[in-house]
């Protein structure tokens, strides 16, 4: 058995073993990388420490804590509530209207926070009690909320796009642009699926809101609706970079929450900063640990091993993309989105580029696949959030998310077969 094969087996077994023991992912990555260093006879504590620091020593990664902070401020400052109220005023009167409210609110909130977990928690906290009170099936409702929450990593500003761009040296602005059309298609797919699911439900129509009430709700959400326009417009015109956009988003959310809506006092800011700092620490530790593992993966020449396996498919880009997507679907059932990006993106992207696949298109497909993994059992981080907030069993949430998961899988396949759906809008917007 070659040293490369031994290293690959050790990495896979080590990661699965540590995860099976319930070890945090970041620590599992560090220990697996350290074990590979010992296996390769390359043990050096100074080198391990340098890689830990290098994993977070990046200016573009500063966007991550500020987008996390912006999401926390949105939830604490009433911005999320106003978006949901606006959606309720416009589409809440349809049969199954709260489902359409969920989809509309998910799209709007995705354009502000970029965090699937933050958006899902906000949607579940506000909408699940309303759905329960109106007699909606909780399993299907929870599945819809989870499915809506994972639009956040696709529509800009997206934290996974930032991490992917830093990891693979891909333009973050181009990645942001690439997510707009696919994100809208995901929303449309949820609308169609929800309409089909409604056939099996006996839900009454609500009372339509008057135009005055609709305009009032839209006006109350006006400051929130300006946020994505400022972020995307500023990056498109070159006024600020994606990292600076994250700072602008956090500052804007703070000003709106404290001085405009006045739903958050200065005394509450400390708690918001504390929650954002804890989440940031988890993400950054993941980045640091993944850098250790990624360095050892490169040292073991595993990228070339993978290239040799996939080499025969380089002449058929669509087949190569299909195989890579299937691989990522399998990985996504066990790994969260961030470690998947940090471990596999630097390995897979060079192979895709060699096959003539557009790197921005590949990045979009990689993140979309990883986002779908957030609602794929057994790990399904977003499913756990919905189950926890709504006090639902994981089994019921998994059952409820199934039709929406199928829709996303079909959308993924559509993008594999017709990559111009993603590439053409990016080229036009550039």
pLDDT at position 287, please? Answer: 87
**pLDDT beyond 80 at 144:** yes
pLDDT tier for residue 2 given thresholds of 50, 70 and 90: low
Q: How many CA atoms lie within 13 A of 199 on its CB side?
A: 5
The predicted-structure confidence for 275-310, as pLDDT tens digits, reads as follows 999 989 988 988 888 888 888 877 777 777 777 777
pLDDT tier for residue 7 given thresholds of 50, 70 and 90: low
Write down the pTM of the prediction: 0.89
pLDDT at position 3, please? Answer: 66
Contact assessment for residue 351 and residue 310, using Cβ atoms and an 8 Å cutoff: yes
The predicted-structure confidence for 406-417, as pLDDT tens digits, reads as follows 999 999 999 999
pLDDT at position 6, please? Answer: 66
Average pLDDT over residues 380-387: 91
The predicted-structure confidence for 256-282, as pLDDT tens digits, reads as follows 999 999 989 989 999 999 999 998 998
pLDDT at position 321, please? Answer: 95
Which of residues 31 and 8 earns the better pLDDT score?
31
Q: How large a percentage of the chain has pLDDT more than 70?
A: 98
Distance CA 268, CA 265 (A): 5
How much is the CA Rg of the chain, to the nearest whole Å?
A: 22
CA dihedral 266, 270, 271, 274 (to 10 degrees): 150
Average pLDDT over residues 76-105: 92
**pLDDT beyond 80 at 253:** yes
Mean residue pLDDT of the chain comes to 89
Contact assessment for residue 45 and residue 16, using Cβ atoms and an 8 Å cutoff: no
């Amino acid at each position: 058995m070659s040293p490369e094969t031994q290293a690959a087996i050790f990495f896979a077994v080590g990661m699965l073993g540590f995860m099976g023991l319930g070890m945090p992912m970041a620590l599992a990555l560090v220990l697996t990388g350290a074990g590979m260093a010992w296996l390769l006879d390359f043990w050096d504590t100074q080198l391990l420490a340098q890689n830990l620091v290098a994993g977070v020593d990046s200016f573009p990664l500063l966007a991550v804590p500020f987008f996390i902070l912006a999401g926390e401020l949105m939830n604490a400052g009433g911005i999320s509530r106003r978006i949901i109220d606006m959606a309720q005023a416009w589409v809440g009167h349809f049969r199954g209207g709260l489902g359409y409210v969920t989809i509309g609110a998910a799209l709007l909130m995705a354009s502000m926070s970029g965090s699937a977990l933050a958006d899902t928690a906000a949607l579940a906290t506000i909408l699940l009690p309303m759905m329960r009170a109106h007699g909606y099936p909780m399993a299907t409702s929870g599945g819809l909320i989870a499915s809506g929450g994972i639009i956040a990593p696709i529509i800009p500003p997206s934290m996974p796009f930032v991490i992917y761009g830093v990891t693979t040296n891909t333009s973050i602005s181009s990645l942001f642009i690439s997510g707009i059309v696919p994100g809208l298609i995901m929303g449309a797919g949820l609308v169609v699926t929800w309409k089909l699911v409604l056939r099996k439900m006996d839900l009454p129509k609500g009372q339509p809101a008057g135009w005055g009430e609709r305009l009032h709700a839209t006006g109350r959400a006006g400051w929130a609706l300006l946020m994505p326009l400022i972020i995307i417009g500023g990056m498109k015109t070159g006024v600020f970079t994606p990292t600076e956009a994250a700072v602008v988003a956090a500052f804007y959310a703070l000003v709106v929450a404290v001085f405009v809506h006045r739903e958050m006092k200065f005394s509450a800011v400390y708690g918001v900063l504390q929650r954002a700092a804890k989440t940031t620490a988890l993400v950054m530790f993941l980045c640091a640990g993944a850098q250790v593992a990624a360095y050892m993966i490169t040292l073991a020449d595993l990228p070339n091993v993978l290239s040799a396996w996939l080499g025969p498919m380089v002449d058929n880009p669509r087949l190569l993309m299909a195989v890579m997507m299937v691989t990522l679907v399998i990985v996504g059932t066990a790994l969260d989105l961030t470690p998947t990006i940090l471990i596999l993106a630097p390995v897979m992207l060079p192979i895709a580029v060699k096959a003539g696949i557009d790197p921005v298109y590949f990045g979009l497909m990689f993140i979309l696949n990883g986002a779908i993994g957030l609602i794929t059992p057994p790990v399904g981080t977003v499913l756990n959030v919905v189950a926890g907030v709504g006090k639902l069993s994981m089994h019921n949430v998994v059952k409820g998310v199934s039709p929406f998961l199928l829709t996303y899988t079909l959308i993924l396949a559509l993008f594999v077969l017709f990559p111009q759906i993603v590439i053409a809008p990016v080229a036009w917007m550039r």
